[in-house]
Structure 1
């Protein structure tokens, strides 16, 4: 059973500015604190089907997850599916014009697969809202810093 959470914020930056930040994988560790890096396998512009590698550190444990871009509509929508032997994580961002700014919505689904991940599900469910809200505030702060 998937553990899901969605959170939205209003930003003064345009959908293009927000999309550009989120699409720059070198900047993911600046707004997603447990991320050590995201690397695209291959070259060229990002597109649906491109393979990714996500390196993270959670609770002192380093890990890698394989990933794939599942949606990529410039200035509107991007989604990814990351997976390893423990779980699958679906990450989605939607950008909608909101006045002169953007309404950014972030949705996450975590589906535990391994016995250990299923045991940890209550902890994931408890931590996910706070982590997602903090991530969105980190995005807000980074956009403001880049605009200054």
Structure 2
């Protein structure tokens, strides 16, 4: 899957936006199809995030936080069904607000992964776009 990015303009500064990206009490407020979400240990590089999505009977993901640089950037990685996924958040000050960009890159590790990516790519891009738009709505109401 070629990488996919989506950006949203937010009225809050990066310091106010960054906590919404990975904190346990905030992520469920804007992430669709989320059954459960928890962070093991302190929220920092090396922490594990466990989440279950209501897709295909419940997909359980164990994501590793591989970069944690508040309030500028964060990156997570996980692997499922032979596909390695890297998700990166970048926050750029924009006047008094923030441009938030999420970039997702998936690489197939085998035949199953290569077959799976074309099937889920469009749905995943729509989900990520809708989730970031929902985050903008949640933050504009707070």
CA distance in 1, matches of 2:24, 2:111: 31
Task: Quote the offset at 1:114 in angstroms.
Answer: 5.3
DSSP-derived class of the 1:133 partner: helix
CA contact (8 A) 1:66 1:84 kept: no
Q: Given the alignment, which residue of 134, 137, 141 partners 1:138?
A: 134
Task: Quote the offset at 1:139 in angstroms.
Answer: 0.7
Q: Which runs of 5+ in 2 are unaligned?
A: none
Name the stretch that deviates more: 6-15 or 24-33.
24-33
Name the stretch that deviates more: 19-28 or 61-70.
19-28
CA distance in 2, matches of 1:50, 1:144: 29
CA 1:27–1:70 in 2, change beyond 3 Å: closer, same or farther?
Answer: same
Task: Quote the offset at 1:77 in angstroms.
Answer: 0.4
CA contact (8 A) 2:19 2:26 kept: no
Matched, 1:126 2:119: no
Matched, 1:77 2:76: no
CA distance in 2, matches of 1:135, 1:109: 17
Q: How does 1:1-148 map to 2 (within 5 A)?
A: 2-42=1-41, 44=42, 46-59=43-56, 61-113=57-109, 115-145=111-141, 147=142
RMSD: 1.8
- Runs of 4+ in structure 1 displaced over 4 angstroms? none
Q: Which runs of 5+ in 1 are unaligned?
A: none
CA distance in 2, matches of 1:130, 1:84: 19
CA distance in 2, matches of 1:133, 1:4: 14
